[in-house]
Copies of this chain bind each other. A is one copy, B any other.
Amino acid sequence: MHSKIILKVIGLLLMIFSLTLVPPVIIAAIYNDGALIEFASVMGGVLLFGLLLWLPVRDYKHDLKIRDGFFVVVMFWVVLGVVGALPLYIEQEVSLSLTDAIFESFSGLTTTGATVLTGLDNMPQSILWYRQQLQWLGGMGIIVLAVAVLPMLGVGGMQLYRAETPGPVKDSKIAPRISETAKALWYIYLGLTLTCAIAYWMAGMDWFDAFSHSFSTVAIGGFSTHDASIGHFDSFEIELVAIFFMFLAGINFALHFSAFRNLNTNVYLSDPEFKLYATLLILVTVLVSLFLYLHNVYPTWEESIRYGLFQSVSLATTTGFANADFSAWPGFLPVLLIFVSFIGGSAGSTAGGMKVIRFLLLSKQVIREIQGLLHPNAIMPVKLGNKSIPEKVMMAVWGFLAVYVFTFTIIMLVVMALGVDQVTAFSSVAAMMNNLGPGLGAVSANYQSLSDPVKWVLTFAMLLGRLEIFTLLVLFTAAFWRK
Protein backbone atom coordinates (compact mmCIF):
# COMPACT_ATOMS: atom_id res chain seq x y z
CA MET A 1 0.00 0.00 0.00
CA HIS A 2 1.38 3.37 -0.95
CA SER A 3 2.26 5.72 1.83
CA LYS A 4 0.70 8.62 -0.08
CA ILE A 5 -2.76 7.09 0.09
CA ILE A 6 -2.23 6.43 3.77
CA LEU A 7 -1.35 10.07 4.36
CA LYS A 8 -4.38 11.18 2.36
CA VAL A 9 -6.75 8.97 4.36
CA ILE A 10 -5.26 10.00 7.69
CA GLY A 11 -5.37 13.66 6.68
CA LEU A 12 -9.03 13.41 5.75
CA LEU A 13 -9.82 11.49 8.89
CA LEU A 14 -8.18 14.11 11.08
CA MET A 15 -10.01 16.96 9.37
CA ILE A 16 -13.34 15.20 9.78
CA PHE A 17 -12.53 14.44 13.40
CA SER A 18 -11.73 18.08 14.10
CA LEU A 19 -15.19 19.01 12.82
CA THR A 20 -16.75 16.65 15.36
CA LEU A 21 -15.24 18.89 18.06
CA VAL A 22 -17.60 21.74 17.11
CA PRO A 23 -20.42 20.53 19.43
CA PRO A 24 -18.12 20.21 22.50
CA VAL A 25 -16.72 23.68 21.75
CA ILE A 26 -20.24 25.13 21.60
CA ILE A 27 -21.24 23.36 24.80
CA ALA A 28 -18.07 24.54 26.55
CA ALA A 29 -19.00 28.08 25.48
CA ILE A 30 -22.65 27.83 26.55
CA TYR A 31 -21.96 26.26 29.94
CA ASN A 32 -18.76 28.26 30.35
CA ASP A 33 -17.32 25.11 31.93
CA GLY A 34 -13.66 26.00 31.51
CA ALA A 35 -12.85 23.52 28.73
CA LEU A 36 -13.37 25.92 25.82
CA ILE A 37 -9.74 26.73 25.14
CA GLU A 38 -8.69 23.08 25.32
CA PHE A 39 -11.33 21.87 22.87
CA ALA A 40 -10.80 24.81 20.53
CA SER A 41 -7.07 24.31 20.44
CA VAL A 42 -7.34 20.56 19.84
CA MET A 43 -9.86 21.28 17.09
CA GLY A 44 -7.61 23.82 15.41
CA GLY A 45 -4.47 21.77 15.85
CA VAL A 46 -5.95 18.57 14.48
CA LEU A 47 -7.54 20.40 11.56
CA LEU A 48 -4.26 22.06 10.69
CA PHE A 49 -2.29 18.85 11.04
CA GLY A 50 -4.81 16.94 8.92
CA LEU A 51 -4.71 19.68 6.28
CA LEU A 52 -0.93 19.56 6.17
CA LEU A 53 -0.99 15.79 5.64
CA TRP A 54 -3.75 15.94 3.05
CA LEU A 55 -2.73 18.93 0.90
CA PRO A 56 0.41 17.52 -0.73
CA VAL A 57 -1.27 14.23 -1.67
CA ARG A 58 -4.86 15.39 -2.26
CA ASP A 59 -4.88 14.49 -5.97
CA TYR A 60 -3.39 11.06 -5.42
CA LYS A 61 -5.68 8.23 -6.43
CA HIS A 62 -5.21 4.54 -5.89
CA ASP A 63 -7.58 1.61 -6.02
CA LEU A 64 -7.91 -0.11 -2.68
CA LYS A 65 -7.40 -3.84 -2.68
CA ILE A 66 -8.57 -6.29 -0.04
CA ARG A 67 -5.23 -6.10 1.73
CA ASP A 68 -5.51 -2.29 1.89
CA GLY A 69 -9.02 -2.68 3.29
CA PHE A 70 -7.70 -4.34 6.43
CA PHE A 71 -5.02 -1.72 6.86
CA VAL A 72 -7.40 1.21 6.42
CA VAL A 73 -9.90 -0.24 8.88
CA VAL A 74 -7.29 -0.79 11.57
CA MET A 75 -5.68 2.59 10.91
CA PHE A 76 -9.07 4.27 11.13
CA TRP A 77 -9.64 3.01 14.67
CA VAL A 78 -6.09 3.44 15.88
CA VAL A 79 -5.71 7.01 14.58
CA LEU A 80 -9.09 8.11 15.91
CA GLY A 81 -8.46 6.37 19.23
CA VAL A 82 -5.16 8.17 19.70
CA VAL A 83 -6.35 11.59 18.50
CA GLY A 84 -9.58 11.19 20.44
CA ALA A 85 -7.51 10.94 23.61
CA LEU A 86 -6.11 14.44 23.16
CA PRO A 87 -8.97 16.47 24.69
CA LEU A 88 -9.09 14.09 27.67
CA TYR A 89 -5.33 14.30 28.11
CA ILE A 90 -4.90 18.07 27.96
CA GLU A 91 -8.03 19.05 29.90
CA GLN A 92 -6.86 20.02 33.40
CA GLU A 93 -10.02 19.17 35.31
CA VAL A 94 -9.98 15.60 34.03
CA SER A 95 -6.27 15.20 34.68
CA LEU A 96 -5.77 11.83 33.04
CA SER A 97 -2.41 10.21 32.39
CA LEU A 98 -1.64 9.45 28.76
CA THR A 99 -2.45 5.77 29.34
CA ASP A 100 -5.77 6.62 30.95
CA ALA A 101 -6.71 9.09 28.24
CA ILE A 102 -5.94 6.51 25.53
CA PHE A 103 -7.88 3.84 27.43
CA GLU A 104 -10.90 6.13 27.82
CA SER A 105 -10.78 7.25 24.20
CA PHE A 106 -10.56 3.70 22.78
CA SER A 107 -13.22 2.61 25.25
CA GLY A 108 -15.47 5.33 23.85
CA LEU A 109 -14.79 4.78 20.16
CA THR A 110 -15.03 0.99 20.33
CA THR A 111 -18.27 1.50 22.33
CA THR A 112 -16.83 -0.61 25.10
CA GLY A 113 -17.81 1.91 27.73
CA ALA A 114 -15.29 0.96 30.40
CA THR A 115 -14.16 4.08 32.20
CA VAL A 116 -11.20 5.19 34.30
CA LEU A 117 -13.06 8.32 35.41
CA THR A 118 -14.88 9.00 38.65
CA GLY A 119 -16.71 12.12 39.70
CA LEU A 120 -18.53 12.36 36.36
CA ASP A 121 -21.36 14.29 37.99
CA ASN A 122 -19.05 17.24 38.63
CA MET A 123 -17.16 17.22 35.35
CA PRO A 124 -17.32 19.93 32.67
CA GLN A 125 -20.37 19.36 30.46
CA SER A 126 -18.31 19.64 27.32
CA ILE A 127 -16.08 16.75 28.43
CA LEU A 128 -19.11 14.64 29.32
CA TRP A 129 -20.71 15.41 25.97
CA TYR A 130 -17.45 14.63 24.21
CA ARG A 131 -17.23 11.15 25.77
CA GLN A 132 -20.80 10.34 24.80
CA GLN A 133 -20.23 11.69 21.32
CA LEU A 134 -17.12 9.51 20.96
CA GLN A 135 -19.33 6.49 21.49
CA TRP A 136 -21.89 7.74 19.03
CA LEU A 137 -19.26 8.34 16.36
CA GLY A 138 -17.74 4.96 17.12
CA GLY A 139 -21.17 3.45 16.64
CA MET A 140 -21.45 5.05 13.21
CA GLY A 141 -18.14 3.49 12.28
CA ILE A 142 -19.20 0.10 13.59
CA ILE A 143 -22.44 0.07 11.62
CA VAL A 144 -20.55 0.60 8.39
CA LEU A 145 -17.85 -1.83 9.47
CA ALA A 146 -20.35 -4.51 10.38
CA VAL A 147 -22.84 -4.15 7.54
CA ALA A 148 -20.55 -3.19 4.67
CA VAL A 149 -16.85 -3.68 5.38
CA LEU A 150 -16.56 -6.96 7.28
CA PRO A 151 -18.86 -8.85 4.89
CA MET A 152 -16.73 -7.57 2.01
CA LEU A 153 -13.53 -8.60 3.75
CA GLY A 154 -15.09 -11.96 4.68
CA VAL A 155 -14.13 -11.79 8.35
CA GLY A 156 -15.34 -14.61 10.59
CA GLY A 157 -18.04 -15.87 8.23
CA MET A 158 -19.59 -12.43 7.74
CA GLN A 159 -19.45 -12.97 3.95
CA LEU A 160 -22.80 -14.52 4.80
CA TYR A 161 -24.11 -10.97 4.78
CA ARG A 162 -22.46 -9.97 1.53
CA ALA A 163 -25.16 -8.23 -0.49
CA GLU A 164 -24.24 -9.95 -3.74
CA THR A 165 -24.28 -13.49 -2.38
CA PRO A 166 -27.39 -15.43 -1.43
CA GLY A 167 -28.04 -15.03 2.24
CA PRO A 168 -30.65 -14.14 4.80
CA VAL A 169 -30.55 -10.40 4.18
CA LYS A 170 -30.25 -10.59 0.41
CA ASP A 171 -33.82 -9.41 0.10
CA SER A 172 -33.00 -6.12 1.68
CA LYS A 173 -30.85 -5.41 -1.40
CA ILE A 174 -28.38 -3.25 0.44
CA ALA A 175 -26.52 -1.16 -2.07
CA PRO A 176 -23.24 -2.90 -2.64
CA ARG A 177 -21.24 0.28 -2.63
CA ILE A 178 -20.12 1.20 0.85
CA SER A 179 -20.94 4.91 0.60
CA GLU A 180 -24.56 4.33 -0.36
CA THR A 181 -25.00 1.65 2.26
CA ALA A 182 -23.42 3.90 4.83
CA LYS A 183 -25.72 6.80 4.04
CA ALA A 184 -28.88 4.66 4.32
CA LEU A 185 -27.76 3.12 7.59
CA TRP A 186 -26.71 6.41 9.10
CA TYR A 187 -30.18 7.83 8.51
CA ILE A 188 -31.59 4.95 10.52
CA TYR A 189 -28.91 5.44 13.16
CA LEU A 190 -29.70 9.15 13.31
CA GLY A 191 -33.44 8.48 13.43
CA LEU A 192 -33.01 5.99 16.29
CA THR A 193 -30.83 8.44 18.17
CA LEU A 194 -33.31 11.31 17.86
CA THR A 195 -36.27 9.13 18.84
CA CYS A 196 -34.32 7.76 21.79
CA ALA A 197 -33.34 11.26 22.97
CA ILE A 198 -36.93 12.46 22.78
CA ALA A 199 -38.12 9.38 24.65
CA TYR A 200 -35.51 9.94 27.39
CA TRP A 201 -36.61 13.56 27.66
CA MET A 202 -40.26 12.59 27.90
CA ALA A 203 -39.34 10.07 30.58
CA GLY A 204 -37.82 12.85 32.65
CA MET A 205 -34.21 13.51 31.64
CA ASP A 206 -33.09 17.05 30.82
CA TRP A 207 -32.09 17.66 27.20
CA PHE A 208 -28.38 17.35 27.91
CA ASP A 209 -28.72 13.96 29.58
CA ALA A 210 -31.32 12.83 27.07
CA PHE A 211 -29.00 13.36 24.11
CA SER A 212 -25.92 12.17 25.96
CA HIS A 213 -27.57 8.91 26.88
CA SER A 214 -29.26 8.43 23.53
CA PHE A 215 -25.75 8.57 22.02
CA SER A 216 -24.43 5.79 24.24
CA THR A 217 -27.65 3.77 24.03
CA VAL A 218 -27.91 3.58 20.27
CA ALA A 219 -24.15 2.99 20.02
CA ILE A 220 -24.47 0.19 22.66
CA GLY A 221 -21.69 2.07 24.38
CA GLY A 222 -22.74 2.37 27.98
CA PHE A 223 -20.97 5.63 28.92
CA SER A 224 -23.04 7.85 31.19
CA THR A 225 -22.82 11.39 32.49
CA HIS A 226 -23.24 10.09 36.03
CA ASP A 227 -21.13 7.74 38.15
CA ALA A 228 -24.28 5.78 38.98
CA SER A 229 -25.11 5.35 35.29
CA ILE A 230 -28.84 5.05 34.52
CA GLY A 231 -29.31 4.17 38.20
CA HIS A 232 -28.69 7.87 38.93
CA PHE A 233 -32.19 8.76 37.74
CA ASP A 234 -33.89 5.98 39.72
CA SER A 235 -36.76 6.13 37.24
CA PHE A 236 -38.50 3.06 35.91
CA GLU A 237 -39.72 5.05 32.89
CA ILE A 238 -36.19 6.03 31.92
CA GLU A 239 -35.07 2.42 32.38
CA LEU A 240 -37.84 1.21 30.09
CA VAL A 241 -36.76 3.67 27.42
CA ALA A 242 -33.18 2.44 27.79
CA ILE A 243 -34.27 -1.20 27.56
CA PHE A 244 -36.34 -0.57 24.45
CA PHE A 245 -33.59 1.26 22.60
CA MET A 246 -30.81 -1.10 23.72
CA PHE A 247 -32.96 -3.88 22.30
CA LEU A 248 -33.44 -2.02 19.01
CA ALA A 249 -29.78 -1.11 18.76
CA GLY A 250 -28.76 -4.76 19.15
CA ILE A 251 -30.70 -5.78 16.00
CA ASN A 252 -29.04 -6.04 12.60
CA PHE A 253 -29.33 -2.58 11.01
CA ALA A 254 -29.92 -4.20 7.64
CA LEU A 255 -33.19 -5.48 9.11
CA HIS A 256 -34.13 -2.00 10.30
CA PHE A 257 -33.33 -0.71 6.83
CA SER A 258 -35.46 -3.39 5.20
CA ALA A 259 -38.34 -2.87 7.64
CA PHE A 260 -38.21 0.89 7.18
CA ARG A 261 -38.07 0.77 3.39
CA ASN A 262 -40.94 -1.72 3.14
CA LEU A 263 -42.79 -0.27 6.13
CA ASN A 264 -43.20 -3.85 7.28
CA THR A 265 -42.10 -5.36 10.59
CA ASN A 266 -42.43 -8.93 9.35
CA VAL A 267 -38.79 -8.84 8.26
CA TYR A 268 -37.84 -9.06 11.93
CA LEU A 269 -39.96 -12.06 12.72
CA SER A 270 -38.78 -13.96 9.68
CA ASP A 271 -35.12 -13.45 10.57
CA PRO A 272 -33.62 -16.43 12.45
CA GLU A 273 -30.98 -14.31 14.16
CA PHE A 274 -33.57 -11.84 15.46
CA LYS A 275 -35.72 -14.64 16.82
CA LEU A 276 -32.83 -16.18 18.74
CA TYR A 277 -31.67 -12.74 19.92
CA ALA A 278 -35.11 -11.95 21.37
CA THR A 279 -35.47 -15.44 22.83
CA LEU A 280 -32.10 -15.28 24.55
CA LEU A 281 -32.91 -11.89 26.09
CA ILE A 282 -36.18 -13.23 27.46
CA LEU A 283 -34.56 -16.41 28.78
CA VAL A 284 -31.74 -14.55 30.53
CA THR A 285 -34.17 -12.03 32.00
CA VAL A 286 -36.42 -14.75 33.39
CA LEU A 287 -33.49 -16.70 34.80
CA VAL A 288 -31.88 -13.65 36.41
CA SER A 289 -35.12 -12.20 37.81
CA LEU A 290 -36.16 -15.57 39.21
CA PHE A 291 -32.80 -16.09 40.87
CA LEU A 292 -32.82 -12.54 42.30
CA TYR A 293 -36.23 -13.12 43.82
CA LEU A 294 -35.62 -16.63 45.13
CA HIS A 295 -32.32 -15.60 46.71
CA ASN A 296 -33.97 -12.58 48.35
CA VAL A 297 -31.61 -10.13 46.69
CA TYR A 298 -34.67 -7.94 46.25
CA PRO A 299 -37.70 -8.39 48.48
CA THR A 300 -40.41 -8.02 45.83
CA TRP A 301 -41.21 -9.53 42.45
CA GLU A 302 -41.43 -6.06 40.97
CA GLU A 303 -37.90 -5.08 41.97
CA SER A 304 -36.48 -8.45 40.96
CA ILE A 305 -37.96 -8.05 37.49
CA ARG A 306 -37.02 -4.37 37.22
CA TYR A 307 -33.35 -4.93 38.01
CA GLY A 308 -33.19 -8.36 36.41
CA LEU A 309 -34.67 -7.14 33.15
CA PHE A 310 -32.56 -4.02 32.92
CA GLN A 311 -29.24 -5.69 33.72
CA SER A 312 -29.98 -8.68 31.51
CA VAL A 313 -30.74 -6.53 28.48
CA SER A 314 -27.86 -4.17 29.28
CA LEU A 315 -25.29 -6.97 29.55
CA ALA A 316 -26.65 -9.33 26.91
CA THR A 317 -26.68 -6.54 24.33
CA THR A 318 -23.19 -5.58 25.64
CA THR A 319 -24.34 -2.03 26.47
CA GLY A 320 -23.12 -1.97 30.05
CA PHE A 321 -25.55 0.53 31.56
CA ALA A 322 -26.32 -0.12 35.23
CA ASN A 323 -29.37 0.46 37.40
CA ALA A 324 -27.92 -1.80 40.07
CA ASP A 325 -24.50 -3.14 41.03
CA PHE A 326 -24.83 -6.54 39.37
CA SER A 327 -21.27 -7.45 40.39
CA ALA A 328 -22.51 -7.65 43.99
CA TRP A 329 -25.29 -10.10 43.14
CA PRO A 330 -24.89 -13.71 44.33
CA GLY A 331 -21.92 -15.48 42.74
CA PHE A 332 -23.61 -17.20 39.86
CA LEU A 333 -25.38 -14.17 38.36
CA PRO A 334 -22.43 -11.86 37.59
CA VAL A 335 -20.57 -14.68 35.85
CA LEU A 336 -23.70 -15.71 33.95
CA LEU A 337 -24.17 -12.17 32.69
CA ILE A 338 -20.52 -11.91 31.67
CA PHE A 339 -20.82 -15.23 29.82
CA VAL A 340 -23.97 -14.04 28.06
CA SER A 341 -22.06 -11.03 26.76
CA PHE A 342 -19.88 -13.47 24.78
CA ILE A 343 -22.90 -14.17 22.60
CA GLY A 344 -23.59 -10.46 22.34
CA GLY A 345 -26.03 -8.74 19.99
CA SER A 346 -26.81 -9.30 16.33
CA ALA A 347 -24.32 -9.03 13.51
CA GLY A 348 -24.70 -5.72 11.69
CA SER A 349 -25.49 -3.86 14.90
CA THR A 350 -23.36 -1.76 17.23
CA ALA A 351 -23.29 -4.61 19.76
CA GLY A 352 -20.16 -6.49 20.77
CA GLY A 353 -19.54 -10.14 21.55
CA MET A 354 -19.34 -13.01 19.10
CA LYS A 355 -22.80 -12.15 17.71
CA VAL A 356 -26.01 -14.15 17.88
CA ILE A 357 -25.78 -15.34 14.26
CA ARG A 358 -22.49 -17.12 14.96
CA PHE A 359 -23.86 -18.66 18.13
CA LEU A 360 -26.86 -19.83 16.11
CA LEU A 361 -24.71 -21.39 13.40
CA LEU A 362 -22.46 -23.05 15.97
CA SER A 363 -25.43 -24.46 17.83
CA LYS A 364 -26.95 -25.81 14.64
CA GLN A 365 -23.65 -27.42 13.73
CA VAL A 366 -23.36 -29.05 17.15
CA ILE A 367 -26.87 -30.48 16.81
CA ARG A 368 -26.00 -31.64 13.31
CA GLU A 369 -22.87 -33.37 14.61
CA ILE A 370 -24.80 -35.16 17.33
CA GLN A 371 -27.45 -36.29 14.85
CA GLY A 372 -24.71 -37.26 12.42
CA LEU A 373 -23.32 -39.71 14.96
CA LEU A 374 -26.47 -41.81 14.61
CA HIS A 375 -26.61 -41.45 10.83
CA PRO A 376 -22.96 -41.29 9.81
CA ASN A 377 -23.68 -41.46 6.09
CA ALA A 378 -26.36 -38.79 5.92
CA ILE A 379 -25.24 -35.37 4.76
CA MET A 380 -26.96 -32.66 6.70
CA PRO A 381 -25.84 -29.14 5.81
CA VAL A 382 -26.52 -26.37 8.30
CA LYS A 383 -29.54 -24.37 7.23
CA LEU A 384 -30.69 -20.90 8.08
CA GLY A 385 -34.33 -20.50 7.18
CA ASN A 386 -34.52 -22.39 3.89
CA LYS A 387 -30.95 -21.74 2.81
CA SER A 388 -27.97 -24.02 3.25
CA ILE A 389 -24.91 -22.33 4.66
CA PRO A 390 -21.81 -22.90 2.51
CA GLU A 391 -19.09 -24.96 4.18
CA LYS A 392 -16.68 -22.08 3.59
CA VAL A 393 -18.81 -19.79 5.75
CA MET A 394 -19.16 -22.43 8.45
CA MET A 395 -15.39 -22.91 8.49
CA ALA A 396 -14.88 -19.18 8.88
CA VAL A 397 -17.34 -19.09 11.79
CA TRP A 398 -15.52 -22.00 13.43
CA GLY A 399 -12.21 -20.26 12.92
CA PHE A 400 -13.73 -17.24 14.60
CA LEU A 401 -14.84 -19.22 17.63
CA ALA A 402 -11.44 -20.84 18.00
CA VAL A 403 -9.51 -17.61 17.65
CA TYR A 404 -11.91 -15.91 20.07
CA VAL A 405 -11.40 -18.61 22.68
CA PHE A 406 -7.61 -18.79 22.17
CA THR A 407 -7.21 -15.02 22.21
CA PHE A 408 -9.37 -14.63 25.29
CA THR A 409 -7.35 -17.29 27.11
CA ILE A 410 -4.00 -15.79 26.21
CA ILE A 411 -4.97 -12.20 27.06
CA MET A 412 -6.49 -13.34 30.35
CA LEU A 413 -3.24 -15.14 31.20
CA VAL A 414 -1.18 -12.09 30.25
CA VAL A 415 -3.35 -9.86 32.44
CA MET A 416 -2.97 -12.33 35.32
CA ALA A 417 0.79 -12.50 34.74
CA LEU A 418 0.75 -8.71 35.19
CA GLY A 419 -0.63 -9.26 38.68
CA VAL A 420 -4.41 -9.14 38.32
CA ASP A 421 -6.55 -11.71 40.19
CA GLN A 422 -8.55 -14.35 38.33
CA VAL A 423 -12.05 -12.91 38.78
CA THR A 424 -10.97 -9.42 37.71
CA ALA A 425 -8.89 -10.74 34.82
CA PHE A 426 -11.66 -13.01 33.54
CA SER A 427 -14.31 -10.31 33.66
CA SER A 428 -12.24 -7.40 32.42
CA VAL A 429 -10.85 -9.29 29.42
CA ALA A 430 -14.38 -10.49 28.61
CA ALA A 431 -15.68 -6.94 29.07
CA MET A 432 -13.05 -5.64 26.62
CA MET A 433 -13.21 -8.32 23.95
CA ASN A 434 -17.01 -8.29 23.98
CA ASN A 435 -16.99 -4.46 24.08
CA LEU A 436 -19.22 -4.77 27.12
CA GLY A 437 -17.70 -2.35 29.62
CA PRO A 438 -18.41 -3.30 33.22
CA GLY A 439 -16.49 -6.07 34.98
CA LEU A 440 -16.27 -7.80 38.34
CA GLY A 441 -13.85 -7.73 41.24
CA ALA A 442 -11.41 -4.82 41.15
CA VAL A 443 -13.09 -3.32 38.07
CA SER A 444 -16.69 -3.52 39.23
CA ALA A 445 -16.88 0.26 39.71
CA ASN A 446 -14.30 1.46 37.17
CA TYR A 447 -10.93 0.56 35.65
CA GLN A 448 -8.92 3.22 37.51
CA SER A 449 -7.05 0.86 39.83
CA LEU A 450 -5.40 -1.28 37.15
CA SER A 451 -1.73 -0.77 36.33
CA ASP A 452 -0.67 0.96 33.11
CA PRO A 453 0.57 -2.22 31.38
CA VAL A 454 -2.75 -3.90 32.10
CA LYS A 455 -4.63 -0.91 30.68
CA TRP A 456 -2.61 -1.12 27.47
CA VAL A 457 -3.34 -4.81 27.13
CA LEU A 458 -7.03 -4.16 27.74
CA THR A 459 -7.04 -1.33 25.20
CA PHE A 460 -5.62 -3.77 22.68
CA ALA A 461 -8.32 -6.27 23.65
CA MET A 462 -11.09 -3.69 23.02
CA LEU A 463 -9.75 -3.05 19.55
CA LEU A 464 -9.34 -6.75 18.89
CA GLY A 465 -12.98 -7.39 19.84
CA ARG A 466 -14.30 -4.43 17.89
CA LEU A 467 -12.43 -5.46 14.74
CA GLU A 468 -13.68 -9.05 15.13
CA ILE A 469 -10.18 -10.29 15.92
CA PHE A 470 -9.21 -11.33 12.40
CA THR A 471 -9.13 -7.83 10.94
CA LEU A 472 -6.43 -6.92 13.43
CA LEU A 473 -4.63 -10.29 13.56
CA VAL A 474 -4.12 -10.39 9.82
CA LEU A 475 -1.82 -7.38 10.18
CA PHE A 476 0.48 -9.47 12.34
CA THR A 477 1.09 -12.06 9.63
CA ALA A 478 4.17 -12.13 7.44
CA ALA A 479 1.94 -12.69 4.39
CA PHE A 480 0.30 -9.33 4.94
CA TRP A 481 3.54 -7.38 4.63
CA ARG A 482 4.95 -9.42 1.75
CA LYS A 483 5.17 -7.48 -1.50
* Chain B residue nearest in CB terms to A152: B376
Q: Does A208 contact B (CB under 8 A)?
A: no
CA distance A450 to B378 in the complex (A): 44
Point out the residue from B153, B403, B416 that lies within 8 Å of A366, measured CB to CB.
B403
Binary flags per residue of A411-424, CB closer than 8 Å to B gives 1, else 0: 01100110111110
Q: Is A454 an interface residue when CB atoms closer than 8 A count as contact?
A: no
**Which residues does chain B contribute within 8 Å of A421, judged by CB atoms?**
331
How many angstroms from the CA of A70 to the CA of B374 in the assembled complex? Answer: 9
Q: Do residues B470 and A402 form an inter-chain contact, with CB atoms below 8 A?
A: no
A470 pairs with B398, CB closer than 8 A: no
6 more A-B residue pairs beyond the given contacts A70-B373, A372-B396, with a C-beta to C-beta distance below 8 A: A331-B420, A365-B398, A366-B406, A374-B480, A394-B395, A401-B402
Q: Which residues of B sit under 8 angstroms from A66, Cβ to Cβ?
A: 373-374, 376
Interface size on A, as a range, is 35 or more
User: Whole-angstrom distance from the CB of A404 to the nearest CB of chain B?
Assistant: 10
| A479: chain B residues within 8 A (beta carbon) | 371, 374
Interface flag for A19 (CB, 8 Å): no
Q: Which residue of B lies closest to A482 (CB)?
A: B374
Question: Residues of B contacting A370 with CB < 8 Å?
Answer: 399, 470, 473-474, 477
Q: Is the CB of B402 within 8 A of A332?
A: no
Flag whether A170 is at the interface (Cβ < 8 A). Answer: no
A residues lining the B interface (CB < 8 Å) = 66-67, 70, 153-155, 291, 331-332, 335-336, 339, 362-363, 365-366, 368-374, 376, 391, 394-396, 398-403, 405-406, 409, 412-413, 416-417, 419-423, 426, 470, 473-474, 477, 479-480
The CA-CA distance from A174 to B370 in the complex, in Å, is: 27
* CB nearest neighbor in B for A406: B366
Cross-chain contact A331 with B371 (CB below 8 angstroms): no
Closest to A416 in B: B332
Inter-subunit contact A373/B155 (CB<8 Å): yes
Residues of B within 8 A of A391 (CB): 391, 395
Task: Tell me how far the C-beta of A91 lies from the nearest C-beta in chain B, rounded to whole angstroms.
Answer: 36
Q: Do residues A374 and B67 form an inter-chain contact, with CB atoms below 8 A?
A: yes
Q: Sample 13 A-B pairs with CB under 8 A, ordered by A number.
A: A66-B376, A153-B373, A291-B417, A331-B419, A331-B421, A335-B412, A362-B402, A366-B399, A369-B470, A373-B470, A405-B405, A422-B422, A423-B423
Minimum Cβ distance to chain B for residue A409 (Å): 6
Q: Which of B362, B373, B399, B400 contacts A368 (CB 8 A)?
A: B399
Which of A368, A370, A420 has its CB near the most chain B CB atoms (within 10 A)?
A370
For the complex, what is the distance from the CA of A466 to the CA of B193, rounded to whole Å? 52
Q: Are A395 and B365 in touch, CB under 8 angstroms?
A: yes
Task: Choose one: B369, B399, B405; the contact of A395 (CB below 8 Å).
Answer: B369
Docked-complex contact B369 and A399, CB < 8 angstroms: yes
Docked Cα-Cα span, A421 to B426, in Å, equals 14
Give CA–CA (A332, B369) in the complex, Å. 35
A362 to B368, CA, bound (A): 19
Cβ-defined partner of A398 (8 Å) among B70, B401, B406, B420: B401
Instruction: Please tell me which one of the listed residues B373, B413, B423 contacts residue A474 in the complex, with CB atoms under 8 A apart.
Output: B373
A417 CA / B287 CA spacing, docked (Å)? 11
Nearest residue (CB) in B for A65 is B374
**Please, which residue of chain B has its CB at the minimum distance from the CB of A405?**
B405
Q: Tell me, in angstroms, the Cα distance from A283 to B339 when the chains sit together.
A: 30
Q: Which B residues touch A374, using CB under 8 A?
A: 66-67, 474, 477, 479-480
